[in-house]
């Protein structure tokens, strides 16, 4: 069982045109920077990307959009990206907007072998159009289907060579859910250690979910909104 890959290029080498990808992160926080760079370099096209956001013009998934590698985005919010807007308006890009909690739950369902769940978000709105509804205890819900992906690409803080992962702070976000839902799950980590070096009580993603792991390099960790208070 060797899950360890040398780098991102090696880990994404078999991602082909038309693949369905999940990419972890919220905004630019906790995104798989190395894998995105490798995908931009390798250049698969016609990708479907399930990711809460679409990056910014020159970082994150925005880099793949710029190269027109993305056919469809499945996200909850895509507002930080001018190139995205251009491609969407020109019809080059499809987008499926999904309430953030429903998106999270559908990915979690996929990773938990649950084919469908009922959620309340979007009842009575255009999100509900064409969807089956049902009332439980006087409240209306939508039937929502599980998501899975050919490849789930996640970023963690620490990982071991058995694939166990620990995320840092709010860089956790969608990463553990997507790790569960990939047919192939690729994890890039800031620090890769030997089995036994992570406390088993603190592992967020057990290694069973992770097929490939490598230690990333040169993390930029760009901050989208730098807000500070003055030093006293």
Which residues are registered as beta bridge partners of 141?
134
Given the complex with its own copies, which of 201 and 225 has the nearer CB atom?
201
For residue 209, what is the DSSP state?
G
> Residue 147 gets which letter from DSSP?
P
Q: Is the separation of the CB atoms in 95 and 88 below 8 Å?
A: yes
CB-wise, 83 or 148, nearer to its own copies? 148
CB of 4 to another protein, least distance (A): 12
212 binds, options its own copies, another protein, none, Cβ within 5 to 8 A by partner type: none
Burial string for 126-165 (b: 16+ CB within 10 Å, else e) reads: ebeeeeeeeeeeeeebbebebbbbbbbbbbbbbbbbbbbb
The least CB distance from residue 39 to another protein, in Å, is 21
**Nearer of residues 52 and 69 to another protein, judged by Cβ:** 52
Residues binding its own copies (CB under 8 A)? 105, 109, 112-120, 134, 136-137, 139, 141, 145, 166-169, 200-202
- Of another protein, its own copies, none, which one does residue 127 interact with (CB within 5 to 8 Å by kind)? another protein
Local structure of 175: helix, strand or coil = helix
Task: Please state the closest distance from residue 168 (CB atom) to another protein, in A.
Answer: 5
Rank residues 17 and 140 by Cβ distance to another protein and give the closer one: 140
117 contact choice in its own copies, another protein, none (CB below 5 to 8 Å, kind-dependent): its own copies
Q: Residue 195 forms beta bridges with which residues?
A: none
Q: Residue 90 binds which entry of its own copies, another protein, none, with Cβ cut-offs from 5 to 8 Å by kind?
A: none
6/229 with CB nearer another protein: 229
**CB atoms < 10 A from the CB of 177, how many?**
25
Best CA proximity match to 125, nearest among 142, 108, 103? 142
């Amino acid at each position: 069982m060797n899950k360890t890959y040398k780098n991102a290029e090696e880990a994404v080498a078999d991602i082909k045109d038309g693949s369905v990808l999940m990419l972890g992160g919220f905004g630019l926080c906790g995104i798989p920077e190395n894998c995105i760079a490798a995908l931009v370099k390798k250049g698969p096209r016609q990708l479907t990307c399930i990711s809460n956001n679409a990056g910014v013009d020159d970082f994150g998934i925005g880099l793949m959009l710029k190269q027109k590698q993305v056919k469809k985005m499945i996200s909850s919010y895509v507002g930080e990206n001018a190139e995205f807007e251009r491609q969407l308006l020109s019809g080059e890009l499809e987008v499926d907007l999904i309430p953030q909690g429903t998106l999270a739950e559908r990915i979690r369902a996929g990773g938990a072998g649950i084919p469908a769940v009922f959620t309340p978000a979007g009842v009575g709105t255009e999100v509900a159009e064409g969807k089956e509804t049902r009332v439980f205890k006087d409240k209306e819900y939508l039937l929502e289907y599980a998501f899975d992906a050919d490849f789930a690409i996640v970023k963690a803080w620490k990982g071991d060579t058995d694939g166990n992962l620990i995320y840092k702070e709010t860089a956790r976000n969608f990463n553990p859910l997507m790790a569960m839902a990939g047919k192939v799950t690729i994890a890039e980590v800031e620090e890769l250690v030997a089995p036994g070096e992570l406390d088993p009580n603190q592992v967020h993603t057990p290694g069973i979910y992770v097929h490939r792991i490598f230690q990333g390099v040169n993390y930029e960790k760009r901050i989208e909104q730098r807000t500070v208070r003055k030093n006293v």
